[in-house]
Amino acid sequence: MLHLILGILKVIGIILLVLLGLVLLAILVLLFVPVRYRLSGKKEAELLEGAAGVSWLLHLVSLTAEYKEKQLAVKLKLFGIPVKPFGIGTGNGKKRKRPKKNEDNSVTIQEFQEQKKKVIQIEEKRKLETQYSDEDDKKTNIQNISIWEKLQDVWEKIIDLFADAQDIPDKLEKSIYGIRKKAEPFLQDETRKLYRRLIERLEYLWKHYRPRKIKGWLHFGTDNPDKTGELTGLIYLLLPMAADQMEIIPDFAEKVLETQISLKGHIRSIHLVKVAILLWWDKEFRITLRRVRGKEEK
């Protein structure tokens, strides 16, 4: 009897260990297996095309989107099995049925009915146009009559504005006080120190999440040469590898935007979890959050 109980406990222990191992494996997969993304686009004159894709765990889950000829098509695959595609502007992939014709190329009854409907619609449009023209004439007469009434309303509003002018200083003072009260949590010394750490956290995330490969070229320009120079510096700051892998062509004379670009990168959840834990254990962040919510202890 004792051996039977021990055997049952042993089996239960093995099952629990297997379940625990599966849970730990799932957590590790979620934290360390990267979500890979890719993006490509082309913009020249009136041509605009683009494609984007996201995949995870050796393409067991993948999502792709393609924009071409003013149509957006999206495809989803789960465990390598394509799900029914859907899109915007594509009619959900359904083709319209054309009316059938007889063998002697004569018009069918369905085509005759469609042509009849078109003729009726044209006649209705003509009637509506004549009605709208008559209504427009009536509206012009009514507008001419109501001009004096509108002028009187404007004059009364001007008088009301002058009457309320005495209350403007009080309203401004109240609004300024409200703005200061709302901005007070963000102007504390502790919050200013927190800003630096937040910037460091964002830099950490950008370091791991930014594109790893970039190819193509970018030709851009604004009406202001100074803004064009600032944008050029910002691009090299955010994408330092662009100097080697991508051609940047700033235009200081004209306003233009043309590009052909493709980039790839990956995202791991562990980095986002790390930043979230650091923020949660940051005492100044929690204090600022309480102040913003208005729940700080007095």
pLDDT band at 83 (very low <50, low <70, confident <90, very high): confident
Q: How far apart are CA 43 and CA 219, in angstroms?
A: 10
Of the CA atoms within 13 Å of residue 240, those in its CB half-sphere come to 3
> Residue 99: its pLDDT value, please?
46
Query: Region 181-191: what's the mean pLDDT?
Result: 64
pLDDT band at 293 (very low <50, low <70, confident <90, very high): confident
Residue type, 219: H
* pTM exceeds cut of 0.85: no
Mean pLDDT for 208-219 is: 89
Structure confidence at residue 88 (pLDDT): 55
Helix (H) or strand (E) holding 37: strand 35-44
Distance, in Å, from the CA atom of 30 to the CA atom of 56, rounded to the nearest integer, reads 10
3-state secondary structure of 255: coil
**What 3-state class would DSSP assign to 68?**
strand
The pair of structure tokens assigned to 25 is: 């494996």
Cα angle value 171/173/176 (rounded, 5°):
110
Tell me which of 163 and 260 has the higher pLDDT.
Answer: 260
Please report, for residues 164, 178, 179, 196, the alpha-carbon distance to residue 172 in angstroms, rounded to integers and kept in the order given: 13, 10, 10, 33
Given a contact cutoff of 8 angstroms between Cβ atoms, the answer to whether 249 and 231 are in contact is no
User: 129-158 pLDDT, tens per residue?
Assistant: 666 555 555 555 555 556 666 666 766 666
Torsion 12-13-14-20 (CA) sign: positive
Average pLDDT of the residues of the chain:
77
- Look up residue 237 and give its two tokens: 């700051």
Tell me which of 148 and 101 has the higher pLDDT: 148
pLDDT reported for residue 245 = 76
258: part of which helix (H) or strand (E)? Answer: strand 256-267
pLDDT of residue 265: 93
Q: Is the pLDDT confidence value at 287 over 90?
A: no
